[in-house]
Amino acid sequence: MSLSPINDANENLLGAVRHDWTRDEILKLFNMPFMDLLFEAQVIHRTHFDPNKVQLSQLCSIKTGGCAEDCKYCPQSARYDTGLKASKMMEVDRVVELAKHAKEAGATRYCMGAAWRDLKDRDVDQICAMIEGVKDLGMESCVTLGMLTSDQIGRFKQSGLDYYNHNVDTSEEYYKEIITTRSYQDRLDTIQNVRDAGINVCSGGIIGMGEKETDRAGMLETLANMPAHPDSVPINKLVQVKGTPLYDDSIDEISDFDFIRTIAVARIMMPKAYVRLSAGRESMDKKMQAYCFMAGANSMFYGEKLLTTPNPVKNNDMALLAELGMSPEGHTMSHEDAATEAKLTDAIVPLKAGGTREFDPSIAYNSRAADNVTQ
């Protein structure tokens, strides 16, 4: 028996890499019974990833504030009085030093962000040096710098850039309510130009900005129907910052369950992408984050700050992973835990096919795996 309301006609529909999702199909996923949705997402997640590993990225604001854009959620816009002072771009040596500390703390990817609408050619050499410095540490490099020219993209490719982040933010329909200084098509064009250069794409959005469920579906529709799915999909929960237009009591905070549903639907629609817990994680308790991992999230920003908004401290993150029997990607799983994982996978596949199986206590997770996590 199929669990999914869109899966009756084709048993292989869920879990397939598709680029032809319709809004109605996506909304049906959002409206599945919560536990059924999480089960589907977890089965698909296990098909492509180790469910007990989480990729850790750290984000550094290499140039803060003074941005000409009018993104209503962003404290870095020069249009809003948020108390944030604009700064010059950081020196290369300082960025590389911070990246080294991030690697020592467990991060495998270092992301560098600058607050501007588009990159000026005069800054390209300095950013290339940052990328090369991060790569020399053996880390993956990522930058988010607004719109780029083809020549700038080519320079970054030559420097070894692994990922470029450029979010779509929300649905195309709701986008004009959030930003007017850059079109939705501008964002899509930048993403395509980056992909054409052979650089991995990181693209997601923000939820909780007053949008409707159909807008969350529309955001995921845009991402999943690209010629290739983004390699990383950050899902941000709005952090209301005083002074920005979205610091507004009339905007209802998105419920925990609606956020988790968005994670699960993203996992189902983009089965091979890393789905990242990004901004807003500081407000999530341990149980909510555990549900997000169950729903298919397998990456998170790590460190005390995301550009200008708070993030859980590192020790709390490691303690949470240890408590869940999870560990950062790149850490080795013991033979005993690998055997347990194989048993769990073997048990869950017949259930997905509609079979039945009595619970076997031998497949229960061994909590001693937590000892493998480096504090």
Report the relative pairing of strands 205-207 and 200-202 from DSSP bridges.
Answer: unpaired
Active site residue 67: yes
Which of 111, 195, 261, 267 is catalytic? The answer is 111
60 is catalytic: no
Q: Which helix (H) or strand (E) holds 327?
A: strand 327-328
Number of Cβ within a 10 Å radius of residue 299? 25
Cβ atoms within 10 Å, residue 103: 18
Residue of 60, 71, 128, 292 marked active site? 71
Choice among 142, 195, 261, 281 that is catalytic: 142
The pLDDT assigned to 4 comes to: 53
CATH of domain 54-324: 3.20.20.70
Q: Give residue 309's identity as a one-letter amino acid code.
A: T
Model pTM above 0.75? yes
Pairing assessment for the beta strands 109-114 and 140-144 based on DSSP bridges: parallel
Token representation of residue 341: 């994982």
pLDDT of residue 344: 47
CB atoms within 10 A of CB 163: 22
Query: Is 71 an annotated catalytic residue?
Result: yes
| CA-based nearest residue to 13, from 50, 22, 365 | 22
Catalytic-labelled residue, pool 109, 155, 182, 202: 202
Q: Residue 7: what pLDDT?
A: 52
Task: Spell out the per-residue pLDDT of the chain, length 375, in tens.
Answer: 445 555 543 444 567 899 999 999 999 999 999 999 999 999 999 999 999 999 998 989 998 877 888 888 888 887 888 788 888 889 999 999 999 998 888 888 999 988 887 788 999 999 999 999 999 999 999 999 988 999 999 999 999 999 999 999 999 999 999 999 989 999 999 999 999 999 999 999 999 999 999 999 999 999 999 999 999 999 999 988 888 888 887 888 899 999 999 999 999 999 999 999 988 888 889 999 999 999 999 999 886 544 444 444 557 888 899 999 999 987 544 444 445 445 544 544 444 444 444 434 333 333 333 233 232
* SS3 call for 328: strand
Question: Which tokens hold the place of 351?
Answer: 């259930």
Task: Domain ranges for the chain, please list them.
Answer: 54-324
Torsion of CA 74, 75, 79, 81, to 10 degrees: 150
Is-contact 77 244, C-beta < 8 A? yes
- What CA–CA distance (Å, rounded) separates 207 from 210? 8
How far apart CA 312 and CA 282 sit, in angstroms, is 5
Q: From the candidates 109, 187, 261, 276, which is the catalytic residue? A: 276
Nearest to 326 by CA among 349, 352, 292, 351: 292
Per DSSP, the three-state class of 27 is: helix
DSSP letter assigned to residue 76: T
Distances in whole angstroms, Cα of residue 36 to Cα of each of 29, 40, 116, 305, 352? 10, 6, 42, 34, 11
111 among known catalytic residues: yes
Catalytic annotation, pick one of 46, 60, 67, 261:
67
128 in catalytic set: no
Q: How far apart are CA 373 and CA 323, in angstroms?
A: 10
**DSSP H or E run through 111:** strand 109-114
Name which of 335, 357, 337, 333 is nearest 347 in CA terms.
357
